[in-house]
A and B are shown apart, each in its own frame.
Chain A
Amino acid sequence: MTGASKTAMTAMTTLALAALVTAGAAPAAADTIAITGATIYQRSDRKLDNATIVIRDGKIAEVDAGVAVPAGATRIDGKGKTVTAGLIEAATQLGLIEVDAEESGNDGRFGNQPTEIHAAYRAIDGYDGRSVAIPVARTGGVTSAITGPIGGLVAGQTAWVSLADAAAPLAPIRAPAAMVIALGRNAMPAGSRGQTVERLRELFDDVDAYRRNRAGFERNASRHLIGQRLDLEALIPVLDGRELAVIRATAEVDIRAALAIAAERKLRIAIVGGAEAWRVAPELAAARMPVLLDPTENLPGDLGALDVRDDNATILARAGVAVGISTLDRPSAARTIRQLAGIAVAQGLPWPKGLAAITEVPAQIYGGAAERGTLERGKIADVVVWSGDPLELTSRAEAVIIGGAVQSLVTHQSRLLDRYKTLPKP
């Protein structure tokens, strides 16, 4: 990171703090909200007709048919509307990438070299909660996101952030959320797939060596280790199985390597990408290893992973693999995850699994299912009111509630629309 962007980031954090302090006295989350008479998907596979949901103190207080509206509650008429849990974009760079093509708008992208090890990099340190892409994502009903670095063998640690106005940089839902590791083409521009696997095993061995000999390491009495001290430290929770490792792997052979490493080391691993994962579906199911994928990835683009197909998600789900759906690192497209889920449904994934892929499954993968992903009593009130079927192209998110607070749907884009709806005189 350049000195200039560091300065900018410090300034940003200060501003965000100021905003929170101002708003903090009376957070909108304190309001009681009731959405009445709606079709409510309490879970992806539990639909309640003509039901009411009551949100109090930022949490879901009641949800069922025939629930009374508390006195003084802000009422949202849900007649003809569909209500779901807030969507979760499970693998993104929201808040890290402002403008992809510009260096100053780009954080957390490392070179594709198996020598790049950035385990100690924490996405939350570079996260900009005021990114213009965040309100745009909200218009697509996305209420939280797992954002993180990519590139190299170990890119660093993701953060699960709320996409609520301004609050996100200060209150991550979970940081770190996972360690990002890459295998195969995801970690190397050319050369050897085996090399990335070998380097990863060596790195894990070095973490063991470092743990056994911290004192020696400090005295410079250690054999050469391929990771730096903080990187080795950061990998300890992963090797202990306390922190999830997301392994970016496209090819069957890389996914099999991930399965082998998970078994050897007893790690918690989720596959991200997984274009050829359908070929390993039974093994992934047996290992309880979830897959986060983009169902539009059907091009035989990688010579090492040519066996790609439209119904990857369907085959995986049928085998019992937990399937999450994501844009995979396209922050400006985060609002399209519901379309991606719809596309997977068109390709044979049952509709409830389509909704689950952008709500429950990411929450489960990242260890937050007790608080998010469904609309059950006591959970955090991340809720979206849709004009119709949330996966359908013509439906819109009409109200987005995060942590019990109704969010503004004003964006850079809606302001441009307002400005240019009537053209100025030439």
Chain B
Amino acid sequence: MRVPVLALLGLAACAAPPPRVAKPEPPALDIADSWVDPTADTPPRGKRPTRDRAAALHDPSAQVIAIRHATIMTATGKIVEGGTIVLSGGAIAALGSDASVAVPAGARVIDGTGKFVTPGLIDAHSHLGVYAVPFAHANDDGNEATAPVTAQVRAQYGYSPQDPAIARAIAGGVTAALILPGSANLIGGEGFTVVMRPGRTSDEVAFPGAPRTIKMACGENPKRVYGGKAGPSTRMGEYAAFRAAFNEARGYLAKQAAYERSRALWLKKKTRAAELDARQTDAKLKVKVEPAPEVPPVDLRLETLAGVLHGDVLVQIHCYKASDMAEMVAVADESGFKIRSFHHALEAYKIRDLLAARGIAINTWSDWWGFKLEAFDGIPENTALVTQQGGRATIHSDSAIGIQRLNQDAAKAMAAGRAAGIAISDDQALRWVTANPAWVLGIDDITGTLEPGKRADVAVWSGSPLSVYSRAELVIAGGEVTYDRSQGATPSDFELANSATQRVP
């Protein structure tokens, strides 16, 4: 290919004199190419249609709801006592003191006396829908544990929007979550940001406007899963494999760039040849142009990793130990991507300076520890220490039980921080389960706080959400009531025959 390219470059550089006729060339074998490309009718590769940010903030069918006389915890630093919040068209229309906010005519008015209103809770780490209940092999869809790098898979493909756990999470005040593949693989696949509500299909519950995310994992899990197979069997092998994967992605990108370049050149050649041929009277002397460069094959695994290198995909990494997190930062630096957040991150407090300086968030529990060796140094003050350092922390669940009480876990982390002399306000504790996970998911411009113009993702609590005795009474996602305690939870399709779900709790 190289020679004709050079030849043509030379040709193009001359100010278009007609080609010198040295001696007539022998005629080419004139065989008609009757082959028809059988794939010519294949439709072009499409993008999965997703609803955009505007859809997250506008639902014309949503009713107008006004909650009056409540304590409104906005997760912006402001708590309004005796406040009113108005939801309209799927967004927050107004909020403030009772006196300052007018209730629109025709609104459903809810008396919030003694109640607390917060943003809907957001779980930055859930496996709902990909490990649906009942716990059965048939429902194990969270770990594509066939190779350590499966960047091509997506949690959305395996998501069951009728997981019975969804209704229970909603009853815990949750309005959105990041559904992640498990941590068997180094790169387990793309996450799926969902509106927490049941549905018929995954597309119906995809959070509108949420950016792509990817799940990676380091430490004990991948080496346990692959140690007996082809590896990696050590942390050394894991970090080498991460580097190899991103090297491969770079090679893939280089091949694509080379293709784009040679195709652009080829197109120029064809254009030029057509110009020259138009002036050529001797049909035997048409300019020869080599065949179009071959399109490199599409590799979906590397496509996703290329997206990571381009910064289109938010990187979410399961890591427990400080040393592991630091190794992943090194991998990211060398490979050329940014880490959005570490998940579990029990030793984040040891490197909270590094994490804060890098703007890397952590998602963790208040007091889980000790169930595995890399979790041995977990401490209840982790969240508070990271926050005190100026880092961004969330309380996540990683559990179909824990997601039902994210607010309680935040309260425990707050109490541990205060006991250690770290001033954590109620609003700050609430941010751990609202505004901060919204940022981790890249939807903080849409939801996560109570502010006019934001999505109507709201939970109404029987008392302070930081008390063990409080329960969510009303949960609203995008203006739609997803849970009303007086009506009881909506059972999943699976549970329609269960007597337990026939009763109002």
Contacts and interface: CB of A to CB of B under 8 A. Distances in A.
B373 A391 contact: no
B371 interface: yes
B370 A301 contact: no
Interface string A188-219: 00000000000000000000000000000000
A303 interface: yes
Contacts of B379: 413-414, 416-417
B70 interface: no
Nearest to A391: B468
Contact of A306 (B134, B352, B370, B377): B134
Interface residues on chain A, size class: 35 or more
Interface string B368-380: 1111110011111
B367 A100 contact: no
Interface string B407-449: 0100110110011100000000000000000000000000000
B371 A100 contact: yes
A99 B376 CA distance: 8
Interface string B356-374: 0000000000011111110
B133 interface: yes
B400 interface: yes
Nearest to A276: B500
A309 interface: yes
B135 A301 contact: yes
A286 interface: no
A78 B395 CA distance: 33
B165 interface: yes
Given A347-B505, A392-B468, A394-B411, A332 B368 contact: yes
A332 B495 CA distance: 33
A299 interface: yes
Interface string B451-484: 0000000000000001111110000000000000
Contact of A310 (B370, B400, B505): B505
Interface string A60-72: 0000000000000
A98 B401 CA distance: 23
B119 interface: no
Contacts of A426: 353-354
Given A299-B400, A413-B378, A309 B503 contact: yes
Interface string B384-405: 0100000000000000110011
Interface stretch (A160-168, A220-228, A337-345): A337-345
B301 interface: no
B277 interface: no
Interface string A398-413: 0000000000000011
Interface residues on chain B, size class: 35 or more
Nearest to B136: A303
B453 to A, nearest CB: 33
Nearest to A351: B469
A346 B505 contact: no
Nearest to B322: A420
Contacts of B123: none
A396 B350 contact: no
A133 interface: yes
A420 B346 CA distance: 13
Interface in A311-363: 311, 330-333, 335-336, 339, 342-343, 345-347
A246 B412 CA distance: 32
B467 A423 contact: no
Contacts of A132: 370
A416 B415 contact: no
Contact of B469 (A102, A303, A330, A346): A346
Contact of A333 (B368, B404, B469): B368
Contacts of B466: 393-394
Contacts of A298: 168, 401, 404
Given A346-B468, A346-B471, A336 B164 contact: no
B373 A99 contact: yes
Interface in B199-225: 220
Contacts of A98: 370
A136 B469 CA distance: 24
A296 B369 CA distance: 19
Contacts of A311: 505
**Highest count of chain A CB atoms <10 Å: which of B134, B377, B419:** B134
A342 B414 CA distance: 17
A49 interface: no
**Highest count of chain A CB atoms <10 Å: which of B136, B376, B470, B495:** B376
A343 B468 CA distance: 6
B163 to A, nearest CB: 10
A285 to B, nearest CB: 19
A307 B381 CA distance: 37
**Highest count of chain B CB atoms <10 Å: which of A136, A301, A336, A421:** A301
A302 interface: yes
Contacts of A301: 133-135
A339 B500 CA distance: 24
Given A339-B412, A413-B379, A423 B372 contact: no
B369 A300 contact: no
Contacts of A339: 408, 412, 468
B371 A99 contact: yes
Interface string B316-353: 00000000000000000000000000000000011011
A296 B401 contact: yes
Contacts of A414: 379
B400 to A, nearest CB: 6
A420 B350 contact: yes
Interface of B: 133-136, 164-165, 168, 220, 349-350, 352-354, 367-373, 376-381, 385, 400-401, 404-405, 408, 411-412, 414-415, 418-420, 466-471, 494-495, 498-501, 503, 505
21 contacts: A100-B370, A296-B401, A299-B133, A299-B164, A299-B401, A301-B133, A301-B135, A309-B505, A310-B505, A339-B412, A342-B468, A343-B405, A343-B468, A346-B471, A392-B467, A393-B412, A413-B369, A413-B378, A416-B379, A420-B350, A421-B420
Given A393-B412, A417-B379, 4 more contacts: A132-B370, A300-B133, A346-B470, A393-B415
Interface of A: 98-102, 105, 132-133, 136, 296-303, 306-311, 330-333, 335-336, 339, 342-343, 345-347, 391-396, 412-414, 416-417, 420-421, 423, 426
What 8 A-B pairs have minimum CB-CB distances, sorted nearest first?
A342-B468, A332-B370, A101-B372, A309-B500, A393-B411, A413-B379, A394-B415, A100-B371
